[in-house]
Structure 1
Protein backbone atom coordinates (compact mmCIF):
# COMPACT_ATOMS: atom_id res chain seq x y z
CA UNK A 1 0.00 0.00 0.00
CA UNK A 2 1.96 2.65 -0.90
CA UNK A 3 -0.16 5.07 -2.64
CA UNK A 4 -0.67 8.59 -2.44
CA UNK A 5 -1.57 10.05 0.82
CA UNK A 6 -4.56 11.77 -0.71
CA UNK A 7 -5.94 8.44 -1.87
CA UNK A 8 -5.50 7.03 1.61
CA UNK A 9 -7.24 10.02 3.18
CA UNK A 10 -9.99 9.69 0.68
CA UNK A 11 -10.44 6.00 1.41
CA UNK A 12 -10.48 6.58 5.15
CA UNK A 13 -13.05 9.38 4.82
CA UNK A 14 -15.19 7.16 2.66
CA UNK A 15 -14.92 4.34 5.17
CA UNK A 16 -15.90 6.66 8.05
CA UNK A 17 -18.80 7.95 6.07
CA UNK A 18 -20.06 4.51 5.17
CA UNK A 19 -19.69 3.19 8.71
CA UNK A 20 -22.16 5.87 9.98
CA UNK A 21 -24.84 4.76 7.51
CA UNK A 22 -25.90 1.62 9.20
CA UNK A 23 -29.31 0.02 8.90
CA UNK A 24 -31.08 1.11 12.02
CA UNK A 25 -34.79 0.59 12.09
CA UNK A 26 -36.63 3.89 12.26
CA UNK A 27 -39.83 3.97 14.32
CA UNK A 28 -42.91 4.35 12.20
CA UNK A 29 -44.48 7.85 12.32
CA UNK A 30 -47.75 8.26 14.22
CA UNK A 31 -50.38 9.85 12.02
CA UNK A 32 -52.42 12.59 13.69
CA UNK A 33 -56.18 12.04 13.78
CA UNK A 34 -58.06 14.45 11.57
CA UNK A 35 -61.82 15.10 11.87
CA UNK A 36 -63.63 16.08 8.69
CA UNK A 37 -66.81 18.16 8.56
CA UNK A 38 -68.70 19.49 5.58
CA UNK A 39 -68.94 23.28 5.57
CA UNK A 40 -72.31 24.84 4.81
CA UNK A 41 -73.16 28.55 4.71
CA UNK A 42 -75.62 29.65 7.46
CA UNK A 43 -76.83 32.90 8.96
CA UNK A 44 -75.18 33.74 12.20
CA UNK A 45 -77.18 35.64 14.78
CA UNK A 46 -75.86 36.61 18.13
CA UNK A 47 -78.19 35.51 20.93
CA UNK A 48 -78.91 38.32 23.37
CA UNK A 49 -80.85 37.93 26.60
CA UNK A 50 -82.41 41.09 28.01
CA UNK A 51 -84.66 41.89 30.94
CA UNK A 52 -87.55 44.33 30.63
CA UNK A 53 -91.24 44.99 30.22
CA UNK A 54 -93.04 45.01 26.90
CA UNK A 55 -95.72 47.68 26.75
CA UNK A 56 -98.06 48.91 24.06
CA UNK A 57 -97.13 52.11 22.30
CA UNK A 58 -100.53 53.58 23.14
CA UNK A 59 -102.56 52.58 26.18
CA UNK A 60 -106.17 53.59 26.60
CA UNK A 61 -108.18 53.24 29.78
CA UNK A 62 -111.66 52.13 28.81
CA UNK A 63 -114.74 51.76 30.96
CA UNK A 64 -118.48 51.66 30.64
CA UNK A 65 -120.29 54.96 31.18
CA UNK A 66 -123.05 53.20 33.09
CA UNK A 67 -123.06 50.47 35.69
CA UNK A 68 -124.31 46.97 35.11
CA UNK A 69 -123.49 43.30 34.75
CA UNK A 70 -121.21 42.25 31.89
CA UNK A 71 -123.03 39.64 29.83
CA UNK A 72 -120.64 39.27 26.91
CA UNK A 73 -116.90 39.77 26.41
CA UNK A 74 -115.84 39.66 22.77
CA UNK A 75 -112.04 39.84 23.17
CA UNK A 76 -109.36 38.48 25.48
CA UNK A 77 -106.14 40.01 26.75
CA UNK A 78 -103.61 40.19 23.93
CA UNK A 79 -106.16 40.03 21.08
CA UNK A 80 -105.81 42.46 18.19
CA UNK A 81 -108.76 44.83 17.85
CA UNK A 82 -109.87 47.35 15.28
CA UNK A 83 -111.26 50.81 15.92
CA UNK A 84 -114.96 50.88 16.83
CA UNK A 85 -114.94 47.11 17.53
CA UNK A 86 -117.28 46.03 20.35
CA UNK A 87 -115.19 44.75 23.25
CA UNK A 88 -117.89 43.91 25.81
CA UNK A 89 -121.61 44.33 26.49
CA UNK A 90 -123.62 45.02 29.63
CA UNK A 91 -127.00 43.53 30.46
CA UNK A 92 -129.46 46.11 29.04
CA UNK A 93 -132.53 44.95 31.02
CA UNK A 94 -132.37 47.61 33.75
CA UNK A 95 -131.60 50.40 31.31
CA UNK A 96 -134.35 49.23 28.95
CA UNK A 97 -136.83 49.34 31.83
CA UNK A 98 -135.67 52.93 32.50
CA UNK A 99 -136.44 53.78 28.86
CA UNK A 100 -139.85 52.12 29.09
CA UNK A 101 -140.63 54.00 32.31
CA UNK A 102 -139.53 57.31 30.79
CA UNK A 103 -141.71 56.66 27.72
CA UNK A 104 -144.70 56.00 29.97
CA UNK A 105 -143.97 59.22 31.85
CA UNK A 106 -143.90 61.15 28.55
CA UNK A 107 -147.27 59.68 27.55
CA UNK A 108 -148.72 60.60 30.96
CA UNK A 109 -147.39 64.16 30.73
CA UNK A 110 -148.75 64.52 27.19
CA UNK A 111 -152.20 63.55 28.51
CA UNK A 112 -151.82 66.04 31.36
CA UNK A 113 -150.83 68.80 28.94
CA UNK A 114 -153.85 67.99 26.78
CA UNK A 115 -156.13 68.13 29.84
CA UNK A 116 -154.68 71.38 31.22
CA UNK A 117 -154.72 72.95 27.76
CA UNK A 118 -158.43 72.16 27.42
CA UNK A 119 -159.10 73.61 30.90
CA UNK A 120 -157.16 76.75 30.02
CA UNK A 121 -159.07 77.19 26.74
CA UNK A 122 -162.37 76.93 28.67
CA UNK A 123 -161.18 79.53 31.18
CA UNK A 124 -160.00 81.72 28.33
CA UNK A 125 -163.48 81.63 26.72
CA UNK A 126 -165.32 82.19 30.01
CA UNK A 127 -163.19 85.11 31.26
CA UNK A 128 -164.41 87.77 28.76
CA UNK A 129 -168.05 86.86 29.48
CA UNK A 130 -167.44 87.14 33.22
CA UNK A 131 -168.32 83.52 33.97
CA UNK A 132 -164.94 82.87 35.65
CA UNK A 133 -162.56 84.85 37.80
CA UNK A 134 -159.07 86.03 36.96
CA UNK A 135 -157.83 83.76 39.71
CA UNK A 136 -159.33 80.67 38.04
CA UNK A 137 -157.93 81.81 34.70
CA UNK A 138 -154.44 82.33 36.20
CA UNK A 139 -154.62 78.93 37.90
CA UNK A 140 -155.51 77.23 34.61
CA UNK A 141 -152.71 79.07 32.83
CA UNK A 142 -150.17 78.08 35.53
CA UNK A 143 -151.34 74.47 35.39
CA UNK A 144 -150.85 74.45 31.60
CA UNK A 145 -147.35 75.90 31.89
CA UNK A 146 -146.49 73.46 34.67
CA UNK A 147 -147.70 70.49 32.66
CA UNK A 148 -145.76 71.69 29.59
CA UNK A 149 -142.60 71.95 31.73
CA UNK A 150 -143.23 68.49 33.17
CA UNK A 151 -143.63 67.14 29.62
CA UNK A 152 -140.32 68.74 28.58
CA UNK A 153 -138.63 67.22 31.65
CA UNK A 154 -140.11 63.79 30.88
CA UNK A 155 -138.90 64.04 27.27
CA UNK A 156 -135.41 64.98 28.48
CA UNK A 157 -135.46 62.05 30.90
CA UNK A 158 -136.48 59.74 28.04
CA UNK A 159 -133.63 61.04 25.87
CA UNK A 160 -131.21 60.50 28.77
CA UNK A 161 -132.50 56.95 29.35
CA UNK A 162 -132.10 56.14 25.64
CA UNK A 163 -128.58 57.56 25.67
CA UNK A 164 -127.65 55.44 28.69
CA UNK A 165 -129.09 52.38 26.97
CA UNK A 166 -126.65 53.09 24.12
CA UNK A 167 -123.75 52.90 26.59
CA UNK A 168 -124.25 49.17 27.21
CA UNK A 169 -121.61 48.36 24.58
CA UNK A 170 -117.92 49.16 25.11
CA UNK A 171 -116.09 50.06 21.91
CA UNK A 172 -112.36 50.20 21.11
CA UNK A 173 -111.28 53.77 20.48
CA UNK A 174 -108.29 52.86 18.32
CA UNK A 175 -106.88 49.78 16.62
CA UNK A 176 -104.32 47.77 18.53
Structure 2
Protein backbone atom coordinates (compact mmCIF):
# COMPACT_ATOMS: atom_id res chain seq x y z
CA UNK A 1 0.00 0.00 0.00
CA UNK A 2 2.79 2.34 0.84
CA UNK A 3 4.55 1.53 -2.43
CA UNK A 4 1.43 2.41 -4.40
CA UNK A 5 1.12 5.77 -2.68
CA UNK A 6 4.80 6.55 -3.32
CA UNK A 7 4.45 5.74 -7.04
CA UNK A 8 1.33 7.82 -7.30
CA UNK A 9 3.07 10.78 -5.64
CA UNK A 10 6.03 10.51 -7.96
CA UNK A 11 3.76 10.49 -10.98
CA UNK A 12 1.95 13.55 -9.68
CA UNK A 13 5.17 15.47 -9.17
CA UNK A 14 6.39 14.51 -12.67
CA UNK A 15 3.11 15.66 -14.19
CA UNK A 16 3.36 19.01 -12.38
CA UNK A 17 6.94 19.51 -13.56
CA UNK A 18 5.96 18.63 -17.13
CA UNK A 19 3.12 21.10 -17.07
CA UNK A 20 5.35 23.85 -15.73
CA UNK A 21 8.08 23.24 -18.35
CA UNK A 22 5.60 23.32 -21.25
CA UNK A 23 4.12 26.68 -20.23
CA UNK A 24 7.35 28.56 -19.19
CA UNK A 25 10.16 28.14 -21.78
CA UNK A 26 13.68 29.29 -20.77
CA UNK A 27 14.50 32.96 -21.40
CA UNK A 28 17.27 33.44 -24.00
CA UNK A 29 19.99 35.76 -22.68
CA UNK A 30 21.03 38.75 -24.89
CA UNK A 31 24.08 37.92 -26.99
CA UNK A 32 27.20 40.02 -26.30
CA UNK A 33 28.62 41.48 -29.52
CA UNK A 34 31.28 43.92 -30.56
CA UNK A 35 29.99 47.14 -32.01
CA UNK A 36 31.10 50.63 -32.94
CA UNK A 37 29.30 53.95 -33.22
CA UNK A 38 28.64 55.61 -36.58
CA UNK A 39 30.48 58.94 -36.76
CA UNK A 40 30.44 60.94 -39.99
CA UNK A 41 33.32 63.10 -41.13
CA UNK A 42 35.15 64.11 -44.29
CA UNK A 43 37.32 61.16 -45.31
CA UNK A 44 40.99 61.90 -45.95
CA UNK A 45 43.79 59.66 -47.15
CA UNK A 46 47.45 60.16 -46.21
CA UNK A 47 50.54 58.45 -47.59
CA UNK A 48 54.20 58.79 -46.70
CA UNK A 49 57.08 58.50 -49.16
CA UNK A 50 60.84 58.35 -48.75
CA UNK A 51 62.34 61.26 -50.70
CA UNK A 52 65.62 63.10 -51.31
CA UNK A 53 66.59 66.72 -51.85
CA UNK A 54 67.98 67.45 -55.30
CA UNK A 55 68.63 70.56 -57.32
CA UNK A 56 66.23 71.49 -60.07
CA UNK A 57 69.21 72.46 -62.23
CA UNK A 58 71.98 69.85 -62.26
CA UNK A 59 74.37 69.44 -65.19
CA UNK A 60 76.70 66.55 -66.05
CA UNK A 61 79.62 68.12 -67.87
CA UNK A 62 82.00 66.36 -70.26
CA UNK A 63 84.95 67.21 -72.49
CA UNK A 64 83.95 67.84 -76.10
CA UNK A 65 87.21 66.13 -77.16
CA UNK A 66 89.06 63.11 -75.81
CA UNK A 67 92.49 63.03 -74.26
CA UNK A 68 94.66 62.60 -71.18
CA UNK A 69 93.80 64.67 -68.12
CA UNK A 70 96.76 66.75 -66.94
CA UNK A 71 94.98 69.04 -64.42
CA UNK A 72 91.96 68.77 -62.13
CA UNK A 73 90.85 71.99 -60.47
CA UNK A 74 87.77 70.98 -58.42
CA UNK A 75 86.70 68.68 -55.59
CA UNK A 76 83.29 67.41 -54.51
CA UNK A 77 81.43 70.07 -52.51
CA UNK A 78 83.41 72.95 -53.99
CA UNK A 79 81.52 76.01 -55.20
CA UNK A 80 82.27 77.15 -58.73
CA UNK A 81 81.22 80.08 -60.89
CA UNK A 82 80.33 80.07 -64.55
CA UNK A 83 83.54 80.01 -66.62
CA UNK A 84 85.81 78.59 -63.89
CA UNK A 85 88.33 75.99 -65.09
CA UNK A 86 87.39 72.47 -64.01
CA UNK A 87 90.02 70.35 -65.77
CA UNK A 88 92.57 70.48 -68.58
CA UNK A 89 93.63 67.86 -71.16
CA UNK A 90 97.01 67.41 -72.79
CA UNK A 91 96.72 69.68 -75.86
CA UNK A 92 99.93 68.84 -77.74
CA UNK A 93 98.19 66.94 -80.54
CA UNK A 94 95.49 69.57 -80.85
CA UNK A 95 98.11 72.34 -81.19
CA UNK A 96 99.79 70.41 -83.98
CA UNK A 97 96.44 69.97 -85.70
CA UNK A 98 95.73 73.68 -85.34
CA UNK A 99 99.14 74.59 -86.81
CA UNK A 100 98.64 72.23 -89.76
CA UNK A 101 95.19 73.68 -90.46
CA UNK A 102 96.59 77.21 -90.31
CA UNK A 103 99.32 76.41 -92.84
CA UNK A 104 96.82 74.76 -95.18
CA UNK A 105 94.64 77.83 -94.97
CA UNK A 106 97.58 80.10 -95.76
CA UNK A 107 98.41 77.98 -98.83
CA UNK A 108 94.82 78.07 -100.00
CA UNK A 109 94.65 81.83 -99.44
CA UNK A 110 97.78 82.35 -101.55
CA UNK A 111 96.35 80.25 -104.39
CA UNK A 112 93.08 82.16 -104.21
CA UNK A 113 94.89 85.51 -104.48
CA UNK A 114 96.89 84.24 -107.48
CA UNK A 115 93.80 82.93 -109.22
CA UNK A 116 91.97 86.22 -108.67
CA UNK A 117 94.94 88.15 -110.06
CA UNK A 118 94.99 85.96 -113.20
CA UNK A 119 91.27 86.48 -113.69
CA UNK A 120 91.60 90.27 -113.55
CA UNK A 121 94.57 90.27 -115.98
CA UNK A 122 92.74 88.15 -118.53
CA UNK A 123 89.67 90.29 -118.10
CA UNK A 124 91.68 93.39 -119.13
CA UNK A 125 93.13 91.60 -122.18
CA UNK A 126 89.67 90.35 -123.19
CA UNK A 127 88.63 93.89 -124.10
CA UNK A 128 91.06 94.13 -127.10
CA UNK A 129 90.49 90.53 -128.18
CA UNK A 130 93.88 89.21 -127.03
CA UNK A 131 92.21 86.53 -124.88
CA UNK A 132 89.50 84.18 -126.00
CA UNK A 133 86.21 83.87 -124.21
CA UNK A 134 87.00 80.30 -123.12
CA UNK A 135 90.28 81.38 -121.52
CA UNK A 136 88.45 84.10 -119.62
CA UNK A 137 85.82 81.61 -118.41
CA UNK A 138 88.51 79.19 -117.24
CA UNK A 139 90.24 81.98 -115.31
CA UNK A 140 86.96 83.02 -113.68
CA UNK A 141 86.14 79.41 -112.74
CA UNK A 142 89.64 78.87 -111.35
CA UNK A 143 89.37 82.01 -109.20
CA UNK A 144 86.01 80.88 -107.81
CA UNK A 145 87.33 77.40 -107.05
CA UNK A 146 90.40 78.80 -105.31
CA UNK A 147 88.19 81.15 -103.26
CA UNK A 148 85.97 78.25 -102.17
CA UNK A 149 89.04 76.18 -101.22
CA UNK A 150 90.33 79.08 -99.12
CA UNK A 151 87.00 79.35 -97.28
CA UNK A 152 86.93 75.59 -96.63
CA UNK A 153 90.44 75.70 -95.18
CA UNK A 154 89.42 78.68 -93.04
CA UNK A 155 86.59 76.57 -91.59
CA UNK A 156 89.00 73.70 -90.94
CA UNK A 157 91.28 76.12 -89.11
CA UNK A 158 88.36 77.36 -87.04
CA UNK A 159 87.41 73.77 -86.10
CA UNK A 160 91.01 73.00 -85.12
CA UNK A 161 91.12 76.09 -82.91
CA UNK A 162 87.81 75.12 -81.28
CA UNK A 163 89.05 71.60 -80.53
CA UNK A 164 92.18 73.10 -79.00
CA UNK A 165 89.97 75.33 -76.84
CA UNK A 166 87.85 72.33 -75.81
CA UNK A 167 90.84 70.77 -74.04
CA UNK A 168 90.02 73.14 -71.18
CA UNK A 169 86.73 72.25 -69.44
CA UNK A 170 84.96 75.22 -67.85
CA UNK A 171 81.87 75.38 -65.63
CA UNK A 172 78.76 76.01 -67.73
CA UNK A 173 76.90 77.46 -64.72
CA UNK A 174 77.48 78.52 -61.14
CA UNK A 175 76.80 75.95 -58.45
CA UNK A 176 78.26 73.21 -56.27
CA UNK A 177 80.24 70.24 -57.53
CA UNK A 178 78.26 67.14 -56.54
CA UNK A 179 80.29 64.45 -58.33
CA UNK A 180 83.77 64.03 -59.84
CA UNK A 181 84.35 60.99 -62.05
CA UNK A 182 87.95 61.36 -63.26
CA UNK A 183 91.52 61.67 -62.02
CA UNK A 184 94.72 63.25 -63.33
CA UNK A 185 96.41 60.90 -65.80
CA UNK A 186 93.14 59.27 -66.87
CA UNK A 187 92.32 59.18 -70.58
CA UNK A 188 88.72 60.27 -70.99
CA UNK A 189 86.70 59.81 -74.19
CA UNK A 190 84.79 62.57 -75.90
CA UNK A 191 81.36 63.20 -74.33
CA UNK A 192 81.84 61.09 -71.17
CA UNK A 193 80.44 62.93 -68.10
CA UNK A 194 83.28 63.72 -65.71
CA UNK A 195 81.74 66.20 -63.26
CA UNK A 196 78.27 67.17 -62.01
CA UNK A 197 77.35 70.72 -60.99
CA UNK A 198 74.10 71.56 -59.18
CA UNK A 199 72.52 74.89 -58.34
CA UNK A 200 71.86 74.85 -54.55
CA UNK A 201 69.60 77.88 -54.80
CA UNK A 202 66.74 75.92 -56.39
CA UNK A 203 66.23 72.73 -54.31
CA UNK A 204 63.41 70.25 -54.90
CA UNK A 205 61.93 67.19 -53.19
CA UNK A 206 62.29 64.13 -55.44
CA UNK A 207 60.23 60.98 -54.86
CA UNK A 208 59.31 57.80 -56.77
CA UNK A 209 55.56 57.08 -56.86
CA UNK A 210 54.17 53.53 -57.25
CA UNK A 211 51.84 52.95 -60.18
CA UNK A 212 48.79 52.12 -58.03
CA UNK A 213 49.01 55.50 -56.28
CA UNK A 214 49.64 57.58 -59.38
CA UNK A 215 46.05 58.81 -59.95
CA UNK A 216 45.49 59.92 -56.34
CA UNK A 217 48.99 61.46 -56.11
CA UNK A 218 48.07 64.16 -58.63
CA UNK A 219 45.09 65.28 -56.51
CA UNK A 220 46.85 65.43 -53.16
CA UNK A 221 48.34 68.25 -51.13
CA UNK A 222 51.86 67.78 -49.83
CA UNK A 223 54.09 68.51 -46.88
CA UNK A 224 57.70 67.50 -46.39
CA UNK A 225 60.16 67.29 -43.54
CA UNK A 226 63.88 66.58 -43.42
CA UNK A 227 65.32 63.64 -41.51
CA UNK A 228 67.50 66.13 -39.63
CA UNK A 229 64.39 68.11 -38.52
CA UNK A 230 61.43 65.68 -38.42
CA UNK A 231 59.23 68.09 -36.42
CA UNK A 232 59.57 70.96 -38.91
CA UNK A 233 57.30 70.41 -41.91
CA UNK A 234 56.92 72.74 -44.88
CA UNK A 235 54.52 72.89 -47.84
CA UNK A 236 55.62 71.71 -51.26
CA UNK A 237 53.87 71.80 -54.64
CA UNK A 238 54.00 69.19 -57.38
CA UNK A 239 55.99 70.62 -60.30
CA UNK A 240 56.67 67.62 -62.49
CA UNK A 241 55.47 64.03 -62.72
CA UNK A 242 57.18 61.68 -65.16
CA UNK A 243 54.84 60.40 -67.91
CA UNK A 244 56.73 57.09 -68.13
CA UNK A 245 57.77 54.62 -65.43
CA UNK A 246 61.43 53.85 -64.76
CA UNK A 247 62.52 50.62 -66.42
CA UNK A 248 64.05 49.08 -63.28
CA UNK A 249 61.68 50.14 -60.49
CA UNK A 250 58.45 50.68 -62.49
CA UNK A 251 57.81 53.83 -60.46
CA UNK A 252 57.14 57.37 -61.62
CA UNK A 253 59.59 60.15 -60.67
CA UNK A 254 57.92 63.22 -59.14
CA UNK A 255 59.60 66.54 -58.40
CA UNK A 256 58.08 68.99 -55.91
CA UNK A 257 59.20 72.53 -55.18
CA UNK A 258 59.05 74.16 -51.72
CA UNK A 259 56.58 77.00 -51.35
CA UNK A 260 58.62 80.16 -50.94
CA UNK A 261 62.38 80.53 -50.72
CA UNK A 262 63.70 77.81 -48.41
CA UNK A 263 67.32 76.60 -48.32
CA UNK A 264 67.59 72.80 -48.28
CA UNK A 265 70.80 70.77 -48.15
CA UNK A 266 71.32 68.88 -51.41
CA UNK A 267 71.31 65.11 -51.02
CA UNK A 268 69.46 65.20 -47.69
CA UNK A 269 66.90 62.52 -46.83
CA UNK A 270 63.31 63.75 -46.56
CA UNK A 271 59.81 62.40 -45.93
CA UNK A 272 56.95 63.46 -48.18
CA UNK A 273 53.40 63.29 -46.81
CA UNK A 274 50.49 63.43 -49.26
CA UNK A 275 46.97 64.23 -48.07
CA UNK A 276 43.78 64.22 -50.12
CA UNK A 277 40.02 64.22 -49.61
CA UNK A 278 38.63 60.81 -50.56
CA UNK A 279 34.96 61.87 -50.62
CA UNK A 280 33.23 65.22 -50.71
CA UNK A 281 30.26 63.84 -48.73
CA UNK A 282 30.69 62.89 -45.04
CA UNK A 283 31.39 59.18 -44.53
CA UNK A 284 31.90 56.87 -41.57
CA UNK A 285 34.83 54.54 -41.08
CA UNK A 286 33.95 50.95 -40.12
CA UNK A 287 36.01 47.77 -39.86
CA UNK A 288 35.73 45.67 -43.02
CA UNK A 289 34.51 42.80 -40.81
CA UNK A 290 31.21 44.69 -40.29
CA UNK A 291 30.20 44.37 -43.95
CA UNK A 292 27.59 41.82 -45.04
CA UNK A 293 25.03 41.63 -47.86
CA UNK A 294 21.31 42.10 -48.31
CA UNK A 295 19.86 41.00 -51.66
CA UNK A 296 23.30 41.21 -53.18
CA UNK A 297 23.90 44.76 -51.89
CA UNK A 298 26.31 45.83 -49.11
CA UNK A 299 24.72 46.15 -45.68
CA UNK A 300 25.54 46.23 -41.96
CA UNK A 301 23.77 45.06 -38.79
CA UNK A 302 22.58 48.06 -36.77
CA UNK A 303 21.66 47.63 -33.09
CA UNK A 304 18.36 49.27 -32.09
CA UNK A 305 17.41 49.72 -28.38
CA UNK A 306 14.59 47.31 -27.42
CA UNK A 307 13.10 49.45 -24.65
CA UNK A 308 14.94 47.68 -21.87
CA UNK A 309 18.13 49.08 -20.48
CA UNK A 310 21.31 47.63 -21.97
CA UNK A 311 19.40 45.36 -24.40
CA UNK A 312 18.84 45.88 -28.12
CA UNK A 313 17.85 44.09 -31.32
CA UNK A 314 19.66 43.99 -34.64
CA UNK A 315 18.31 44.89 -38.03
CA UNK A 316 19.93 44.92 -41.49
CA UNK A 317 20.59 48.38 -42.98
CA UNK A 318 21.87 48.96 -46.51
CA UNK A 319 25.02 51.05 -46.90
CA UNK A 320 26.96 52.68 -49.72
CA UNK A 321 30.67 51.89 -49.76
CA UNK A 322 32.79 54.88 -50.83
CA UNK A 323 36.20 53.22 -50.57
CA UNK A 324 38.63 51.26 -48.48
CA UNK A 325 41.51 52.39 -46.28
CA UNK A 326 43.84 49.73 -44.90
CA UNK A 327 41.51 47.39 -42.93
CA UNK A 328 38.60 49.84 -42.77
CA UNK A 329 35.85 50.80 -45.20
CA UNK A 330 34.20 54.16 -45.76
CA UNK A 331 30.39 53.99 -45.84
CA UNK A 332 27.26 56.09 -45.62
CA UNK A 333 23.66 55.15 -44.94
CA UNK A 334 23.12 54.50 -41.21
CA UNK A 335 22.26 57.42 -38.94
CA UNK A 336 24.95 59.15 -36.97
CA UNK A 337 25.17 57.62 -33.51
CA UNK A 338 23.88 54.19 -34.55
CA UNK A 339 25.71 51.19 -33.14
CA UNK A 340 26.98 48.75 -35.81
CA UNK A 341 28.00 45.14 -35.16
CA UNK A 342 31.67 44.68 -36.16
CA UNK A 343 32.26 40.97 -35.47
CA UNK A 344 30.28 37.78 -36.01
CA UNK A 345 27.92 39.32 -38.57
CA UNK A 346 27.35 35.90 -40.13
CA UNK A 347 25.62 34.78 -36.90
CA UNK A 348 23.19 37.72 -36.79
CA UNK A 349 19.48 37.45 -37.59
CA UNK A 350 16.75 40.10 -37.72
CA UNK A 351 15.35 40.74 -34.22
CA UNK A 352 18.20 38.99 -32.42
CA UNK A 353 18.65 40.42 -28.91
CA UNK A 354 22.13 41.71 -28.09
CA UNK A 355 23.76 43.29 -25.06
CA UNK A 356 24.35 47.01 -25.49
CA UNK A 357 27.65 48.67 -24.44
CA UNK A 358 27.86 49.10 -20.65
CA UNK A 359 25.80 46.02 -19.81
CA UNK A 360 27.15 43.32 -17.53
CA UNK A 361 27.28 40.77 -20.35
CA UNK A 362 29.02 43.19 -22.71
CA UNK A 363 31.62 44.01 -20.06
CA UNK A 364 32.18 40.31 -19.41
CA UNK A 365 32.68 39.70 -23.11
CA UNK A 366 35.16 42.56 -23.37
CA UNK A 367 37.11 41.17 -20.38
CA UNK A 368 37.17 37.75 -22.00
CA UNK A 369 38.43 39.15 -25.30
CA UNK A 370 41.12 41.15 -23.49
CA UNK A 371 42.25 38.02 -21.62
CA UNK A 372 42.70 36.21 -24.93
Q: Give yes or no for TM over 0.5.
A: yes
For the residues of structure 2 that align with 1:100 and 1:54, how far apart are their CA atoms?
50
For the residues of structure 2 that align with 1:134 and 1:123, how far apart are their CA atoms?
10
What is the Cα deviation at residue 85 of structure 1?
A: 2.1
Aligned counterpart, 2:74: 75
Aligned counterpart, 1:92: 91
1:60 aligns to what SS in structure 2? Answer: strand
Deviation digits for residues 83-109 of structure 1, max 9, x if unmatched? Answer: 232111011112111211121112101
Structure with higher Rg: it is 1
What is the Cα deviation at residue 75 of structure 1?
A: 2.2
Deviation digits for residues 42-91 of structure 1, max 9, x if unmatched? Answer: xxxxxxxxxx9977535321101112221111223x24131232111011
For the residues of structure 2 that align with 1:61 and 1:137, how far apart are their CA atoms?
58
Q: Which runs of 5+ in 1 are unaligned?
A: 1-51
Aligned counterpart, 1:112: 111
1:72 aligns to what SS in structure 2? Answer: strand
Alignment of 1:16-165 (within 5 A): 57=55, 58-76=57-75, 78-83=76-81, 84-165=83-164
1:129 aligns to what SS in structure 2? Answer: coil
Aligned counterpart, 1:21: none
For the residues of structure 2 that align with 1:68 and 1:143, how far apart are their CA atoms?
40
What is the Cα deviation at residue 148 of structure 1?
A: 0.8
Moved over 4 A (4+): 52-56
Q: Which has the higher contact order (CA 8 A, sep 6+)?
A: 1
1:61 aligns to what SS in structure 2? Answer: strand
TM-score (norm 1): 0.63
Deviation digits for residues 119-146 of structure 1, max 9, x if unmatched? Answer: 1122112212222211111000000011
Aligned counterpart, 1:175: 175
For the residues of structure 2 that align with 1:142 and 1:114, how far apart are their CA atoms?
13
1:69 aligns to what SS in structure 2? Answer: strand
For the residues of structure 2 that align with 1:72 and 1:129, how far apart are their CA atoms?
68
For the residues of structure 2 that align with 1:115 and 1:171, how far apart are their CA atoms?
42
1:131 aligns to what SS in structure 2? Answer: coil
RMSD: 2.0
